[in-house]
Amino acid sequence: MKKIFVFLFTFGLLGLNTLLAQQSAFTIEVPLTIPLGNTADFIDQVALRGVNIQYQRFIKKTFAVGGEIGYSTLYKKEEQKVYTEGSASLSGVQYRYQHAFPILVTGTYFPIVEGSIRPYAGLGIGTIAQDRRIDMGIFTSEKTHWQLAIRPEIGLILQPSSSVGFKLGAKYNSSFASSNLDGQSNLSVNFGIVFIK
């Protein structure tokens, strides 16, 4: 996990000067993740663990394309649950984790380009690596599943200056079923800082 944060931080620092020299937006945000559907069946607790990094290049004043990478974790302690894998069943306290690593291509529409408050609507398409782990005593079960993902987004950017803004948005992260894991979904409320050039 430390390697992921080091990579994200390095990517941000190395790319920041280049990104700011163009008609672009570079965003670092923290997601408050609310599990839904199959994700909530596994872990139903809200979490404020993760980070998203997004780069967008404006191809018009009202439209930007780019990419997003991120990381979020859900966690829950389950009292006295039975876990079965193959022909073995164990009973005890479970610690459940779900780590999500989205890699998305994004498009964002800005209907208002003047003023200090800029609403936006966007769509991301790509993949999400869903890493699920269950710890029970000395036993651990962990599997990573790659799934096709789609992510609509709406929000506001409050821009007090021409080069810096603050972002508040909501994303619905949805992935489609893979061979070993049903589709996953969550709603995230994101708070971040945007460097605009």
Average pLDDT over residues 68-85: 88
Query: What pLDDT is stored for residue 180 in this prediction?
Result: 85
More confident residue, 62 or 90: 62
Q: What percent of the chain has pLDDT over 90?
A: 71
* N-term to C-term CA, the chain: 31
Q: What are phi and psi of 43, to 5 degrees?
A: -140, 120
What stretches of 37-62 adopt beta strand conformation (E)?
50-58
Average pLDDT over residues 86-104: 90
Query: What pLDDT is stored for residue 18 in this prediction?
Result: 40
109 neighbors 120 (Cβ within 8 angstroms): yes
Query: What pLDDT is stored for residue 56 in this prediction?
Result: 97
Give the C-alpha separation, 33 to 58, whole Å.
28
Other beta carbons within 10 angstroms of residue 152's beta carbon come to: 13
More confident residue, 13 or 189: 189
Q: 2-196: which CATH topology?
A: Porin (2.40.160)
pLDDT at 155 exceeding the cut of 60 = yes
Q: What one-letter code names the amino acid at 72?
A: S
pLDDT at 119 exceeding the cut of 60 = yes
With CA atoms as reference, report the closest residue to 185 among 141, 148, 135, 156. 148
Average pLDDT over residues 109-136: 94
Query: What pLDDT is stored for residue 2 in this prediction?
Result: 52
Q: Where are the domains of the chain?
A: 2-196
Give the C-alpha separation, 96 to 75, whole Å.
6
How far, CA to CA in Å, does 50 sit from each of 5, 22, 116, 122, 189?
Answer: 10, 28, 28, 20, 12
175 neighbors 183 (Cβ within 8 angstroms): yes
Average pLDDT over residues 136-144: 88
pLDDT tens sequence across 30-55: 999 999 999 999 999 999 999 999 99
pLDDT tens sequence across 56-75: 999 999 999 999 999 999 99
More confident residue, 20 or 72: 72
pLDDT at 157 exceeding the cut of 90 = yes
Query: What pLDDT is stored for residue 83 in this prediction?
Result: 74
164 neighbors 157 (Cβ within 8 angstroms): no
Please state, rounded to an integer, the average pLDDT across all residues of the chain: 88
Query: What pLDDT is stored for residue 82 in this prediction?
Result: 79
